[in-house]
Amino acid sequence: MNITATTIKQDIRKVSPAQLTDWLTGQGQPGFRAKQIQEWLWKKSATSFSQMTNLPLPIRELLDTHYEIRPLTVDQQQRSNDGTIKSSFRLFDGNLVEGVLIPALRHDDTDRMTACVSSQVGCSLTCKFCATGYMDRKRNLDAAEIYDQVVAIDRQSRETYDVPLSNIVYMGMGEPLLNYKNVLESIDRITSPNGLGMSPKRITVSTAGIAKMIRQLGDDGVKFNLALSLHAANDAKRDTIMPINESNTLAALGDALSYFYQKTGTRVTFEYILFYNFNDTLQDAEELWKFTKRVPAKVNIIEYNPIAEASFKNTDPQTLDRFAAYLEQKGVMVNVRRSRGKDIDAACGQLAGKK
């Protein structure tokens, strides 16, 4: 059967409130219904028009004739021994992305529940230590698909731990700043009083380092947190593991981060994986310390999570402790992040949308 333009329904979550109002009045319906519909979509996370029970049935039927909602679905779900839950999400076009629920480890912080969400199907940056980097980038996620991951993971948190989400990190599949518009729109939907109402200070966007877009974040005056996946404060080494550094050098990134801080006043987080016999010497620590002086920052030292495609190894505990101690002696705020969900390939750098 040939599909004509008249048989294709429009994704209602890509329709602006003004457009929806105009359409409703054109159909002889009161324009105020648009606000009710928007509330169902973004505040109550409705996945069908039949759920919109304060709308008259004829309007629901009218919506169903012309529009559709394209919610993602949980394709598979795995639970780690440490309580981490990894989900494979099926998108409307059949593509898969992964998201992770990371519960608090410490008994005194049981209310901390973090969602790690994806922003692209695959990735184009080819970082040598990341499983997603060995995939092709198929497409960007739209704002609603990112929003849906948060809704689904929040539901998992409530059902499994009886606690709502407290934090969101854009550290899953893809480079968020190469999907700039949709990422910022998703954060607006998540933080808006007309959406999920979360605080932007509970959200962190992690980038491999796109200097131009970091500056754009400053110009846009964003309220969320920014993390840079650094992993080497030496251009030659960073070029080796992160080819994006060849066009976004450390000097360019340092200038962009200074601009971002000047515009937003938000301290930056540097993420640093210690690879055995590559970037784990005291000289590497000194280079990192000097780079942190460019902008108020803290450093998260991250445990490496091996992947089949790469031969990198995690550094040994003594070297890690020595590296962290050097930074702390220089006055750098350091957190050592232990990996979560390694037994189900849910840890940092392991997400690959496997079928």
Out of 45, 68, 91, pick the residue that ends a domain. 68
- 162 and 31 part of one domain: no
Q: What are phi and psi of 98, to 5 degrees?
A: -120, 150
**Containing structural domain, residue 59:** 10-68
- 354 lies in a domain? no
- 26 and 92 part of one domain: no
Pairing, β 139-140 against β 120-121: antiparallel
- 199 and 249 part of one domain: yes
Question: In this structure, which amino acid lies at residue 343?
Answer: D
Structural domains counted in the chain = 2
This prediction's pTM: 0.91
- 161 and 58 part of one domain: no
- 61 and 81 part of one domain: no
Out of 19, 34, 68, pick the residue that ends a domain. 68
pLDDT (tens place) for every residue of the chain, 355 residues total: 344 445 689 999 999 999 999 999 999 999 999 999 999 999 999 999 999 999 999 999 999 999 999 999 999 999 988 889 999 999 999 999 999 999 987 555 568 999 999 999 998 887 888 877 778 789 999 999 999 999 999 999 999 999 999 999 999 999 999 999 999 999 999 999 999 999 999 999 999 999 999 999 999 999 999 999 999 999 999 999 999 999 999 999 999 999 999 999 999 999 999 999 999 999 999 999 999 999 999 999 998 877 777 778 889 999 999 999 999 999 999 999 765 545 545 445 444 444 4
- 22 and 149 part of one domain: no
- 150 and 233 part of one domain: yes
Distance CA 220, CA 205 (A): 14
- 59 and 78 part of one domain: no
- 55 and 167 part of one domain: no
Q: Are 137 and 175 within 8 A, CB to CB?
A: no
- 349 lies in a domain? no
Residues annotated as catalytic (active site), given as ranges: 98, 348
